[in-house]
Amino acid sequence: MIKGVTVGFRYKMHIVKKHFPIDITISKTNLEIKRFLGERNVKIVKLLEGVSVTKNEKNQEELWFDGNDIDKVSLTCKEFFIKFFC
């Protein structure tokens, strides 16, 4: 508990694309993914309270999920994964 308050937790996820480029839009409350595998619909993942998402400045294909509560950060990553692969 003390580690989360002082340092925070970070989950890193990589965006892997082969042929179709994936467009990701980040806002404060949600994450929008467009053109996943050539699809035209937009997939929206809502961020839990206290979780923020940023793109790595050096590697634009890496997303960083940050927050003080490890449960909320991991649940947000799980929702992101489930939207695309289940």
Label residues 10-26 b or e (16+ Cβ within 10 Å = b).
ebeeeeeeeeeeeebee
- Its domain, for residue 69, covers 2-85
The pLDDT of residue 35 = 78
The count of residues in the chain is 86
Q: What is the total count of domains within the chain? A: 1
Taking only the tens place, the pLDDT of each residue in 27-70 is 989 988 887 777 788 888 999 999 999 998 898 889 999 999 99
Query: In the predicted model, is pLDDT for residue 2 greater than 70?
Result: no
Which residues are 64's β-sheet partners? 12, 54
Which residues are 8's β-sheet partners? none
Query: In the predicted model, is pLDDT for residue 75 greater than 70?
Result: yes
> d(Cα 29, Cα 45) in Å, to the nearest integer?
9
* Residue 27's CATH number: 3.90.930.12
